[in-house]
Structure formats: C-alpha cells, structure tokens
C-alpha cells in the first residue's frame, strides 16, 4: 500500500474514534497498522491471545489488546523528506519539579543505604503544550528521529492516546527461541570515539543483567549472556547486554519473571516497586509497561537445497511475539503532551545529576513536538 493511503486510513480511523496501532520495528522501513473494527476494550489476561498488546507498569491493572481476529491489518514502507528542525532548547522545567525530583532521589539513596533495596528507578511526568496535535504527524516525526527504535502510535478512545520510541526489547520469541536484553546506564552522546562509563552505570547494568539471568533460568534452556556494549538511542547512549536461549515454559510465566525489570523498576523488584507506587506522586499508567506483537502467525519459506529451488522449498508457520518496554513515550490529551522520563538510582547516585539525566532524555522527544 502507498504511504499516503496508509496514513489517510489511520487519520480516518482516529477521526471515527476507533482503536488502532501504528508501529515500526527497529532498523526497518516497514510500518504496520492494526485497525480494530469496534471500540470495545479487549484484554489479554494470560497472554494467549493474538494481536497487539498494551500493558501497564502496575501488573495488577488490565492489559489491553487490539485483537487480530477483530481488526484489519495493513502495511507500507516509510520514506520522509528532510526538513528544517526549528526546535530550540528551552528550560521548561519548573523549580518545584526539580526540587521534588532531587528530594525524591535523596530519599531513595537513604533507603538504599538502609538496605531497603539495592536499586530503584524513579521517574517524573512533564506536561507541555503542543504545536502539532495530530498524532499521525507526530508519529511520522518519531519515525524520522528514532530510526533504530521501536516506534509506535497507539490509540483507544476509552483508554488514551500514546506515542513512543523505545530502545528496549522486553522479549522477542520465534517458535521456542527467545532473545531479550539488559539495558541500563545513560549518558548524552557527545560524538566521542571512546565512551567511558562510571561505576554507577556499570553497577546498574550488572544488576539488570543478573536479575534477568536468574529469573529466566528456571524457565529456559541454553541461556547465553552476550558481552556488554554501548548503543545509541536518539541523542543518548546506553549499555546493552543481549540474552538468548530456548523456552521450556509459557509466555505468561516469562513475562511475570521479567516485568517490570530492574531497568524500569529496581531490585529487589517488589520492594522497589512499592517505593515507586508510594513516593513518585503520580500514576505511571502505561509508561514502563510493555507493548507489541503477541502470538502473531508468520510464514517462513526455506529452501533446503540451493541447487534445486523449485522442488525443495517449503513453508512453515511459526508463532512470533515481539514485546518492548514502553520508554521514551508520551500521552496526548487535547493539545497537551505528557512526557515520561526516569533514571536508575543506586547508592552512588548524585541527585543533581539524576535530574540532569531526565532533562537530557526529554530533549530529543521535545524536538518531535515543535
């Protein structure tokens, strides 16, 4: 389908207040759209359904599904024209917001020193006025700025309107094989050839990697832990470790073991989660939840003999799930956008630096909005 037709269908669906999701997986040009035929809220309690899933940070709240069986699916390839970016860096953060976040981080560090937990991820919400309120156009801007991320626009008239560009995979499954990642540590990309990470970021990354490995071991086989590497997401750098293996359990058990990870919650999980719920002073909703393709049937054609293409080609159908952590995201309401940003806190954290990290994380996203 032509790109213009694709986005015209998306705009029509939005105008008619019908649920849909537009998304592009990392390092591809293919944009997929799933357009629900009614405005009912469908949920997936045990993750056995097929469609696009949208889950909150708090696992006690409902997971919303746009079901394959009740939706139309279309696809196009995305191309864009270069245009001047008129965004100018602004200090839009109030003194009160900074003071609250610094105080919150200080409280968390004291709790860590009192052995209540080892790490906690603290976040804040920043609401700004939009110069462009059309979510489809904002989605196109995100596609341009975040070429290596999972980019999406998700809408349900009874739930809300969310957009984002996340660098973090929660889990990808094809058949009985899985891959996931431990992603932690943040610094601004200054264009240097050599990247130096401080002890705080390295410790944070190791905590996330160990948590994922230990929680998955009872549920998987042949687990492989890759080497830590630096990756780029927008104008930021992170430390990533790839983890893979084969599954001997169901998807629901895997998600319970992983979500929320120390990269978005903390360690130990329950203690840090309770600290977040009691002290952040706002509801994260779907920020640091997860989203993506759930139990999608995909055809794979394979040739077992390259010398005889016509007679040795067969098609197999595999079940695929590609789920991502909902980071670098925003919620749109009328002509305003609420941006969600956070950072990992350990005993070595500096409250002032943690505030600066949240400011850095919003800068690229704000370029999309102006």
| pLDDT for 269 | 92
pLDDT single digits (tens) 326-359: 999 999 998 899 999 999 999 989 999 999 989 8
Can you tell me which residue has the tokens 């009192």? 114
The answer, yes or no, to whether residue 56 has pLDDT greater than 70, is yes
| pLDDT for 289 | 97
Q: How confident is the model at residue 82 (pLDDT cuts 50, 70, 90)?
A: very low
Q: How confident is the model at residue 69 (pLDDT cuts 50, 70, 90)?
A: very high
Q: Which helix (H) or strand (E) holds 4?
A: helix 3-15
Q: Could you please report the per-residue DSSP string of 189-229?
A: ----SS----HHHHHHHHHHHHHHHHHHTTTEEEEEE---E
The domain segmentation of the chain, as residue ranges, is: 3-94+125-265+286-340+352-369
Distance (Å, rounded) from C-alpha 125 to C-alpha 284?
A: 8
The answer, yes or no, to whether residue 2 has pLDDT greater than 70, is yes
pLDDT single digits (tens) 112-167: 999 999 999 999 999 998 877 899 999 999 998 888 899 999 999 999 999 999 98
| pLDDT for 116 | 97
Average pLDDT score over residue span 299-328: 74
Q: How confident is the model at residue 235 (pLDDT cuts 50, 70, 90)?
A: confident
Cβ-based neighbours of 71, under 8 Å, separated by 6 or more = 34, 35, 36, 37, 51
Average pLDDT score over residue span 32-56: 97
Q: Which CATH superfamily is domain 3-94+125-265+286-340+352-369 in?
A: Anthranilate synthase (3.60.120.10)
Can you tell me which residue has the tokens 């980071």? 327
| pLDDT for 90 | 45
| pLDDT for 1 | 82
Tokens of 255: 């998600």
| pLDDT for 148 | 86
Contact 54, 64 (CB under 8 A): yes
pLDDT single digits (tens) 168-220: 999 999 999 999 998 888 888 888 888 899 888 888 888 889 989 999 999 99
Nearest Cα to Cα of residue 162 among 152, 171, 170: 152
| pLDDT for 365 | 81
Burial 22-61 (b: 16+ CB within 10 A, else e): bbbbbeeeebbbbbbeeeeebebeebebbbbbbbbbbeee
Portion of the chain with pLDDT greater than 90, in percent: 68
Burial 331-348 (b: 16+ CB within 10 A, else e): bbeeeebbbbbbbbbbee
Can you tell me which residue has the tokens 């995100």? 142
pLDDT single digits (tens) 276-300: 999 999 999 999 999 999 999 987 6
User: Mean pLDDT in the chain?
Assistant: 89
Tokens of 200: 């705080």
């Amino acid at each position: 389908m032509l790109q213009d037709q694709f986005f015209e269908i998306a705009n029509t669906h939005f105008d008619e207040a019908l649920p849909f999701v537009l998304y592009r997986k990392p390092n591809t040009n293919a944009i997929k759209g799933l357009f629900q035929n009614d405005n009912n809220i469908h949920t997936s309690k045990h993750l056995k359904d097929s469609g696009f899933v949208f889950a909150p940070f708090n696992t006690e709240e409902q997971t919303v599904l746009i079901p394959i069986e009740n939706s139309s699916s279309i696809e196009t390839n995305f191309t864009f024209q270069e245009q001047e970016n008129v965004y100018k860096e602004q200090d839009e953060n109030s003194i009160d917001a900074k003071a609250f976040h610094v105080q919150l981080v200080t409280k968390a560090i004291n709790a860590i020193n009192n052995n209540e937990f080892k790490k906690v991820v603290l976040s804040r919400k920043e609401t700004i006025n939009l110069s462009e309120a059309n979510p489809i156009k904002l989605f196109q801007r995100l596609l341009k700025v975040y070429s290596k991320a999972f980019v999406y626009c998700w809408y349900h008239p009874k739930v809300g309107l969310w957009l984002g560009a996340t660098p973090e995979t929660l889990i990808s499954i094809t058949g009985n094989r899985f891959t996931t990642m431990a992603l932690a540590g943040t610094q601004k990309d200054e264009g240097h050839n050599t990247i130096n990470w401080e002890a705080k970021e390295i410790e944070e990354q190791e905590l996330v990697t160990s948590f994922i490995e230990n929680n998955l071991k009872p549920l998987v086989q042949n687990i492989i832990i890759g080497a830590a590497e630096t990756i780029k997401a927008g104008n930021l750098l992170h430390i990533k470790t790839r983890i893979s293996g084969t599954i001997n359990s169901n998807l629901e058990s895997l998600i319970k073991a992983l979500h929320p990870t120390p990269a978005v919650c903390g360690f130990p999980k329950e203690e840090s989660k309770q600290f977040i719920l009691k002290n952040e002073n706002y509801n994260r909703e779907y920020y640091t939840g997860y989203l993506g393709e759930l139990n999608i049937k995909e055809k794979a054609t394979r040739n077992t003999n390259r010398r005889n293409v016509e007679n040795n080609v067969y098609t197999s159908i595999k079940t695929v799930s590609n789920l991502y952590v909902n980071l670098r995201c925003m919620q749109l309401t009328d002509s305003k956008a609420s941006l969600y940003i956070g950072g990992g806190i350990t005993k070595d954290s500096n409250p002032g630096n943690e505030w600066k990290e949240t400011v850095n994380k919003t800068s690229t996203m704000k370029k999309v909005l102006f």
